[in-house]
Structure formats: structure tokens, C-alpha cells
Structure 1
Amino acid sequence: MDQQQRARNRCQWLPALESLPGPRYKALVDQLAADMASGVLQPGQRLPPQRLLADALGVTVGTITRAYQEAERRGLVEARVGSGTRVKDLTEALPHFHHLTRAGHDSIDLSLSIPIPTPLRQQQLTVSLQQVSASPEAVNAALAYQPEQGCPTQREQLCQWLASQGLHFEPQELMLTEGGQHADFLALQTLVKPGEAVASAALTYPGMIAAARQLGLKHLPVGTDAEGIRPDMLERLCQQQRIRLLYLMPEYNNPTGHHMSEARRQAIVDVARRYDMLLLEDGVQFVTEDVRGTPLYRLAPERSLYIFSVSKLLAGGLRFGVLRAPMNLMPQLRVALRAQCWSSPSLMGAVTCQWLTSGDADRLLEWQWEEIRARQALLREILSPYEVSTHPCGFHAWLRLPESMRAADFVQLADARGVTLIAAEPFCVGSQPAPQAVRICITPPASREALAEGLTRIRALLDEEPLMSAPLL
């Protein structure tokens, strides 16, 4: 038995690189990502030592070293002295959903971006359910199989309602999904291959980070300024690597609140056209027409996808969303959705569309936008001396802490005083260093009084800075 065969017998993981294109080190990382996504490699599993794997594959140790370094940069593995290189648990960096895990906890929860609680939601949902159940046509449609893109009638109804909000679509370019996160995952899974690169703002929605990791995609951060993604830094990244898709939230970024000007949107589109890059615009953080910029699907319809969901407007539990896509991409998306779930649940779509088109939703949203404006004013009043960025329709604000404060400590101290927050780590792409900042959501409390109390406790912590400062390492 020769040395290579002995090495192969000792390797607990042995990637097959022969059929993969590109440099060997990149092919190894792509196979690593694919094996993690398929379950061949489990979290915590130790990878073969570099020299052993090099002997087994017949490549240089330098090739394996470079591959492991790239895998670590992409957040797939972690290397520790004395423990070797191990597969990373990609669920560790996901945000902690306190509203699901801390039932009965008396903390004022400012950690989650959800619609403002009100009995009106339950009342209107009850009416919508009754109206659907009273319509034989609606019940029959809800019981029947539907096309992959979703019920045609529901797509037409959505187009009419969205047009009333200033967003104009054609029914044939819409696909109904099980919420915005499903639309995000579906687009990535269909249009980006494992190992290919996607990009986003360096601080972005954790659901996008989780989807890219789950699919074994290379997720690259782009630098930002007060308007969000910088076109010059995006172009520089495109010159270095092939970026298949750019994910962005032009209206207001989650978590930073950055809003893109018209000039910035056009500059992003120009870069996307030069480098033949798809644009995935997340519109789940919905805003009113008077403060909305031009959606990217209108600036570059041939390469732009748009995500809409009722999670921030009606209720997150409805799990009902929409993916707008260019017609040339729709066949691929239909095939992928059929393989996942055949089509989105027609009953959920019937109830949601009934709610939207009855006029009840408009009355609910009018109340919610008024309440958001009042809560934003409360936020500005209480935290006025500190650096806070947000949006007129924002469910959340981004608080940059004084230099002497560390976000992890601040979150712990706030929790001890009965306020739940989220620091920056879950929003960081790849190995980006987390800024010393926290996201404050103003919508979870049922009353303005509860919100004011939570913000007052946060203000007290900020004012006590000399008592809680810690040296930055």
C-alpha cells in the first residue's frame, strides 16, 4: 500500500476534487460547503490534518492551508490551537428570538422587529376568516392545488392592493411564497450555486446570513456610508471576485437604518449592469409611498428581484409573501418552489388577500403608521443626546454606543434592568468586526408607556457611562 492510499484510509473526510472546476483550494472549499449543507459534515466534526489531507489528495500542503484559511474566512470552520480545524456550527451566530423563548419573562422586549400589538389585529383576522369561510368560491380555491406561482386570483388581488401603495407589478411576474424569508432562500437556492459569491452590506438582515450559510454560498461584505452600500466599494469587490447576486434594503437597512438616495440607487444599478450581477431587493421593511424611493425593479427590471411580505404589516404568523422576478428567471424559480412545497398554501393566501382587499388592512396600517411616528418622536426625545439612526417608518433604531462602552456588556446590563436588546454580532457578515452598537426595536411593547419606560432605562445606562466603562482590547 503506497503513502497516498494509507493517507486516504486515515481521512475521516475526503473530498472528490477531480470534477470540480477552478483552483484546487477553491474546489476544496466549495465541496466543504456542499458537504456541510447536505449533512455529510456535522458541526464540531474535525477535519483531517493539513499534511494528511494533502497526501491523500496528492496536492501540496500549501494548497490545503490556503483552503482551510479560505473556509475560515467564509465562516465555515474554526481553527483552534491543539484542537485542529473543525466544522463550525452555523446556528451559533443566529439572533436569539426572545419572543419565542422567554414566555412569561417580565423584561421590556425591544429586541424584535414585529408589528405593534393591538386587539384590532385579532378582530380583523377573525372577520377575514369568517368572510373566506362564507364564500364557496374562496373555499373551493383554498382546497384545490394551485400553480407553482400561486393562485392567479390572489396574485391579481395583490397587484391591485400593492398598486394602491405605489408599487406596481404584473401578476405574471409574481410568485407567492411562505413569507419573506422563504422568498429570500428560494432566490438564493435557485439562482446561486454552492461556492458562488453573494454580497450585501457588511451589516445586514440575519436571515440572509443564515440562508447563505445554509446553502454553502460565499457571503461577502460591502462597505457602507450613511446611504448604505457604497458603489465604489462594490465595484472594487466585483473587480476582485465574481459576484452573482447583491442583497440590499434600499429603503432602510436592517439594522442600521441607512436609506439610499435616488443617485445611490442608480449607481448601484450601473455597477450591477457592468458586472452582470443580480439584485435582490428586500422590501419587507415596508415604508409608505411618500418616503419611498424608486424600487430597483423599476430601474433595472431585467436583473432585479423584489421581496414583499405582510409580516411587518399584518402579522408574522401568516407566513405570506411575494417574490417579484424577471420573466426569464421565473421557470427556474417555479421548478425550485415545486420541489420545495409545490406552491404556497392557498388558504393562507385567501385569508391574507381578503384582509388586504376588504379595506380593514388599510385602517389597521393607518393606525400603525401614526403609532410609529409617535414612538419615533418618543425615541428621539429620550435618547436625543446620543447617536441614533432610524427611519420615519422604522420599526427599529440603531444606537451607536459611546467609545468606552462595549455592546455585549451593555446588552447584559440592560437585561439586568429588565430591557431586552440585540447587539451587532448577529448582523455581521463573515468575519467583519462588530461595531459597538445595539438595535432598539420600538414596536414590541403594547403601549407607548411601556416603550418610554424601556427607553428611559436605556438612557439611564448611557448616562452612567463612567460607572460601566471597560477598556477596549
Structure 2
Amino acid sequence: MTIWVPELPEQGPRYRAIVTAITEAIHREQLKPGERLPPQRRLADALRVTVGTVSRAYAEAERQGLVEGRVGSGTYVHGGERTSVAFRQTTPDGDEMLVDLSLSLPPPHPDRPQGLGEALADIARDPLALRHAVDYQHEQGMVRHREVLAEWMTRLGIAVDAEELVITQGGQHGIFLALQALAQPGERIAASMLTYPGLICVAQQLHLKTLRVPLDEAGMDVEALARLCAQQPPRLVYITPDQNNPTGVSLSESRRVRLAELAREHDFWIVEDGVQYLPPEEQGTPLYRLAPERTLYLFSTSKVIAGGLRIGTLRAPSMLRERLATLQRAQSWMVPPLMAEAVCRWIDSGAAERLLDWQLDEIAARQRLARERLASFRISGQPHGFHVWLELPAGQRAAALLEQLERQHVRVTSAEPFCVGSEPAPQAIRLCVSAARSREALTRALDTLVALLETPPDIPWRTL
């Protein structure tokens, strides 16, 4: 255990000063990966602050992905394979001024709770639907539910057949099912060097080794993947081809074709994540059409209808459906049919399509707003995507910027939780423009960010 005790400035919130000190100590390698921080009471005594102050600082450092709290053991600096501790739903902290752009959430709209209420009222008037809701159902999901979802996905530009689908409890559950069905503990999977933290978390839970593949403006570097396959072919490749999370870049058509060829050549599976929905004009050729026999496609209603209902689908080749059904049965037997019925009623009524039309217009307006405000900086993202990726100007550090933004009631995400492997995280941030309560709140957050980016960083001298 380290005996690290930082020096804190005289002014400002003490817990924030501790977080800053942890950040700087990690960058200067005074705190090394895997080292244990001092117990909270010991550090509180050394700094002459309350235990609650240290506890709050450690919690914030964990949210930023700097450290990891282990029950019964203590708090440790992250090291080796990064974990996704910064990827989780935050609880409201009572800050009414806070503009939280850290999570990929659909824009708020009164039609979401109202639509659920109408769907539930409709179900309550249907004795057969109520009976199905309280009975056990097939692991793959009720036939009617799969038919409604398949028809709707096809209208959205994702052509699938009902018999291909397994209903899941959202996209994250779909990732878990796919990886559990395809890979054994210790096997290798590949993903872009920056990828969805939920994938990293599942790989860790299933004890899979994640290989990083370079990423550029045309998406995953498929030729780099080919070189990787020549040395150590992965069991599967996870990819979000229409918009990488977090950078928003799209996989080029030529790379999609090449990826399908590589999958056949080296006998690996493709897990294609389409949860972050884009309209048909911004979609590329789905990988499940290029290599249908070895591609699993993930979709979810969480980003387009309501995240709390946890209804998604996993499109899978016929050879895998029984395996997926067995895993579903072992985990939860089935997805609650009441939730699937509510989503299907929402779709049948036409309310889901009207909500999605509004959402696409709203996101497009927010993306234009972000691009106007951030025109002087290097950004990427899709016109109807939830997030914007911002590369910081030279001299700016993401950890310090996150702390400055938090002081001004703005929250974003650094690159840290998206990194595969142990390479240093790029100095960049992800802003989820969709998550702001309103365009006015988003404008205030963007103006705050621009003001900080245009202010030269104050880097104190620490040596002679």
C-alpha cells in the first residue's frame, strides 16, 4: 500500500483538489497502475479533512475511470486492461444546473412516459395479452412480438425476418449473450482501439482477452486486423460499423466487404452492434448481409423508444439460435413478455414512429448546434448521431478539463473508458448532445466548453 499524501491548494473544494492530485500523480507516475490508495480515514487524518471528503473524492475519481474500488480491499489505481467503471448510470446529485452530456441517452420528451401509459392501458383492456404477460413464454420470445419487431426494423432500414430474432433485455444483454455463445474463457476477441465500454465490461466478466485494432477516419483498420489474424486470429470481432462509439466514424464500404472476407478466411464471427440507430440514408451495408452465416446483429429500442423497458433483438444465424435460447433460459428463462408487449403496442399504434421522427429532427438540430459552436476544433460524429467526439487542442488534458467543466455544472466523458488494452488514452472527450434536457441547456454547456478550450491551460512548474 502506498503512503502517498498529496499537497492541496488552500482554495477551492477539498474533494475536487484530491481528485486533481490523484490525476496528476497518475500522470507523473507517482501513483502506478495497481497501487492501493491510502485508506480513507488515514488520508483524511493526514490532510486534516473529513472522511466524507475523501470518500467523495475517491468516488469521483472512480467515476472518471482513474481508480477502482474493491469491496473489502480498498481503492486501487487502474492498470493493465482498463475496466469500464466510468461507464454507468449516474444518480441525480441535486444539481439543477447540471448539464450531463456523459451518457448516450435519447432526448427527453413527454411522449415517452405518455406512450408507455397508453400502451399499458391498452394491455389492461386485453384479457389475452394479460394472460400471456403472466405466463411463461418461449426463450426466443413470443412469435407475435418477433414479427412486430422484425417488421418495424425492416421499415427502419434493417431488413430481418422474425424467425432470425431472439428478443433480449436491451443491447447490453445482447452483447453478453453473443459473446457467451461464441467464445470460451481465455479466447481472444478483437475490437477497435476505442470502443463501447459495455463490450469491454462483458469481455472482462467472461474472462476474454480483448485485442485492439487501430481506428481512423474510415473506421476500423481492417488491414491491420488482417495482420493481427495472421499472428493470432480472434474468435470474434465486435464492431459498430455505422458509427463508432465514441468517435462516430463510419466503416467504409470497401472495409465492410474486406471484413466479411476476412471472417470467412480466418473463421471468426462478427458481432455487429446497431443499437445507436441512424436513418437509412446514413447506414452502410449491414455486415449481416455481407456475411449472414457468421454475423450476429444487435438492435435495441432503448435509444429510439424507452431505455427502461429493456427490449432489444439479436439477429442470429440458425445454427446459433438454440445455443442462444439455452443461454437465455439459464440466465432469466425469458425476457418479460409484458415489456415486449408494451413496446409492440407502442409500435402498432404508430406512436413509436412519430416519436422517432421527432427525435431524428431534434438530434439533427443539436448536431448542427454543436458543429457551429465547435467549428474551430477537430470533431467527428454523424448528422443524426447521439454524440460528438472532440480532440482537445495541444496542451489540454482531458482529466483537467473534466474537472473544470464539472465546476461549471457540465459533465462529459473522457476517452479513458473507451480504450481497449493498456495504451495511453487520447486527449479527447465525448459529448452526448442528445442527453441535454433542452437545446438551451446544450447551448450553455457548449459555450462553457468553448470558453475553457480557448483559455490557455495553467500548468504549474513542478521542477527546476
Change in CA separation of 1:413 and 1:224 when aligned onto 2, cut-off 3 Å: same
In 2, distance between residues paired with 1:257 and 1:471?
A: 37
Deviation per CA, 1:54-102, whole angstroms, max 9, x where unpaired? xxxxxxxxxxxxxxxxxxxxxxx9xxxxxxx999798954225464253
CA–CA distance in structure 2, aligned partners of residues 379 and 104 of structure 1:
23
Q: 1:166 aligns with which of 157, 170, 176?
A: 157
Could you say which residue in structure 2 is the equivalent of 1:21? none
Instruction: Encode CA deviations 1:94-123: one digit per residue, 9 max, x unaligned.
Output: 225464253545321111110101112111
Q: Distance in 2 between matches of 1:100 and 1:202?
A: 29
1:335-374 matches, cutoff 5 A: 335-374=326-365
Aligned to 1:179: 170
The question of 1:271 aligning with 2:262 is answered yes
Residues of 2 paired with 1:124 and 1:290: CA distance?
27
Residues 345/471 of structure 1: CA separation in 2 closer, same or farther (3 Å cut):
farther
User: Does 2:275 match 1:317?
Assistant: no
Match of 2:383 in 1: 392
Given that residues 81 and 422 in structure 2 are in contact (C-alpha distance below 8 angstroms), is that contact kept between their aligned partners in structure 1?
no
Q: Which residue matches 2:212?
A: 221
Deviation, structure 1 residue 468: 3.4
SS of structure 2 residue aligned to 1:323: strand
Cα offset, 1:162, TM superposition:
1.1
- CA 1:348–1:217: 2 relative to 1, 3 Å: same
Q: How does 1:64-79 map to 2 (within 5 A)?
A: none
* SS of match in other structure, 1:183: helix
Specify which of 227, 241, 253 is matched with residue 232 of structure 2.
241
- 1:261 to partner: Cα distance: 2.0
**Residue 443 (structure 2) aligned to one of 452, 462, 469:** 452
CA, structure 1 residues 470+219, in 2 after alignment: closer, same or farther (shift >3 Å)? farther
Structure-1-length-normalised TM-score: 0.79
Q: Distance in 2 between matches of 1:395 and 1:471?
A: 39
Aligned partner of 2:416 among 418, 425, 444: 425
1:50 corresponds to which residue?
none
Q: Give 1:411's aligned amino acid.
A: L
C-alpha displacement of 1:395: 0.5
Q: Could you say which residue in structure 2 is the equivalent of 1:304?
A: 295
Measured in 1, the distance between the counterparts of 2:82 and 2:141 equals 31
Matched, 1:291 2:303: no
How many angstroms does 1:368 deviate by? 0.6
Who is 1:141 aligned against? 132
1:262 and 2:256 are equivalent in the alignment = no
Q: Describe the SS at the equivalent of 1:243.
A: coil
The alpha carbon displacement at 1:356 in A equals 1.4
Q: How well do the aligned residues superpose, as a CA RMSD in angstroms?
A: 2.4
Relative to structure 1, is the Cα distance of residues 404 and 354 closer, same or farther in structure 2, using a 3 angstrom cutoff? same
**Structure 1 stretch 318-327 or stretch 95-104: which is displaced more?**
95-104
User: Aligned-pair distance for 1:370?
Assistant: 0.5
Unaligned 5+ segments in structure 1 are: 1-42, 46-76, 78-84
* Alignment partner of 1:468 out of 452, 458, 464: 458
In 1, Cα distance between equivalents of 2:81 and 2:298: 24
3-state SS of paired residue (2:313): strand
CA contact (8 A) 1:161 1:357 kept: no
Q: Is the 8 A contact 1:308 1:321 kept in 2?
A: yes
Deviations 1:452-472 (A, max 9, x none): 0000000000110x2435799
| 130 and 471 in structure 1: CA distance in 2 versus 1, 3 angstrom threshold | farther
Q: CA deviation at 1:137?
A: 2.0
Instruction: Decide whether aligned partners of structure 1 residues 415 and 349 sit closer, same or farther in structure 2, where only a CA change above 3 A counts.
Output: same
Normalised to the residue count of structure 2, the TM-score between the two structures is 0.81
- Is 1:44–1:89's contact at 8 Å kept on the other side of the alignment? no
Contact kept? 1:404, 1:471, Cα under 8 Å: no
1:156 counterpart = 2:147: yes
Alpha-carbon separation, structure 1, partners of 2:140 and 2:177: 12
Structure 2: distance between partners of 1:86 and 1:385: 35
- Give the distance between the partners of 1:472 and 1:396, measured in 2 at CA: 36
Rounded Cα–Cα distance in structure 1 between residues aligned with 2:186 and 2:204 = 10
- Please identify runs of 4+ aligned residues in structure 1 that moved more than 4 A: 85-92, 469-473
2:409 equivalent to 1:441: no
After superposition, the Cα gap between the structure-2 partners of 1:87 and 1:312, relative to the gap in structure 1 and judged at 3 Å, is: closer
Q: 1:149 to 1:382 in 2, by over 3 A?
A: same
C-alpha distance in 1 between matches for 2:78 and 2:214: 28
Shift of 1:141: 1.6
Distance 1:375 1:470, change over 3 A: farther
Conserved 8 A contact 2:188-2:235: yes
Q: Distance in 1 between matches of 2:139 and 2:89?
A: 34
Taking a change above 3 Å as real, the CA distance of residues 392 and 469 of structure 1, as seen in their structure-2 partners, is farther
Match of 1:196 in 2: 187
CA gap 1:472/1:277 in 2 versus in 1, 3 angstroms: farther
CA contact (8 A) 1:406 1:470 kept: no
The question of whether the paired residues in 1 share the 8 Å contact of 2:82 and 2:417 is answered with no
CA distance in 2, matches of 1:407, 1:215: 30
Q: 1:408 aligns with which of 363, 386, 399?
A: 399
Give the gaps of 5 or more residues in structure 2. Answer: 1-33, 37-67, 69-75
Amino acid at match of 1:203: L
Q: Distance in 1 between matches of 2:99 and 2:192?
A: 29
Residue in 2 that maps onto 1:375: 366
Which string of whole-angstrom CA distances, capped at 9 and with x for unpartnered residues, describes residues 419-453 of structure 1?
Answer: 10110000001112100000011012221111000
